[in-house]
């Protein structure tokens, strides 16, 4: 049998769950910091004095799309024949260093582009 809670019995509002860790961000703040300035969720949370989870909840509540964490490879803008010529001249490791990418990234990119 369930227990009768005192506040519920006398008609008072009962708050359930953990209290918020800080103030909820407003839509204006989110649009300014996240959308217009392009700051990360963590940076927005630090600026507003709330948790990153609160920022995520507010973004979802206000219907603001969350940016993807993934970034596109900078190798995709380089033509395949240029990449292959660079690998032939400097080797995979040397050309990857020259491009500023990891050797495995270059190998994976070349394998994917050749398979297309």
Residues 33-67 have pLDDT tens digits of 998 988 889 999 999 998 899 999 999 999 999 98
pLDDT at 92: 94
pLDDT at 19: 76
- Is residue 62 within 8 Å of 28, Cβ to Cβ? no
Render 23-58 in DSSP notation, one character per residue: PPPPHHHHIIIIIIS---HHHHHHHHTS-HHHHHHH
Say what the pTM is.
0.51
Burial class (CB in 10 A: 0-12, 13-18, 19+), 79: exposed
pLDDT at 6: 76
Residues 10-29 have pLDDT tens digits of 878 877 777 776 788 999 99
Question: At residue 22, what are phi and psi to the nearest 5 degrees?
Answer: -175, -175
Residue 4 has pLDDT above 60, yes or no: yes
Which has more confidence, 97 or 115?
Answer: 97
Residues 60-113 have pLDDT tens digits of 999 999 988 777 778 888 999 999 999 999 999 999 999 999 999 999 999 988
Average pLDDT of the chain is: 87
């Amino acid at each position: 049998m369930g227990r009768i809670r005192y506040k519920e019995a006398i008609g008072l509002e009962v708050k359930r769950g953990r209290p918020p860790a800080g103030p909820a961000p407003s839509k204006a703040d989110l649009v300014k910091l996240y959308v217009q300035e392009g700051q990360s969720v963590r940076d927005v949370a630090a600026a507003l004095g709330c948790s990153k989870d609160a920022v995520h909840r507010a973004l979802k509540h206000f219907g603001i799309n969350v940016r993807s964490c993934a970034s596109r490879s900078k190798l995709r803008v380089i033509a395949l024949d240029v990449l292959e010529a660079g690998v032939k001249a400097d080797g995979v490791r040397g050309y990857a260093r020259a491009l500023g990418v990891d050797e495995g990234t270059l190998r994976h990119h070349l394998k994917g582009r050749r398979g297309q």
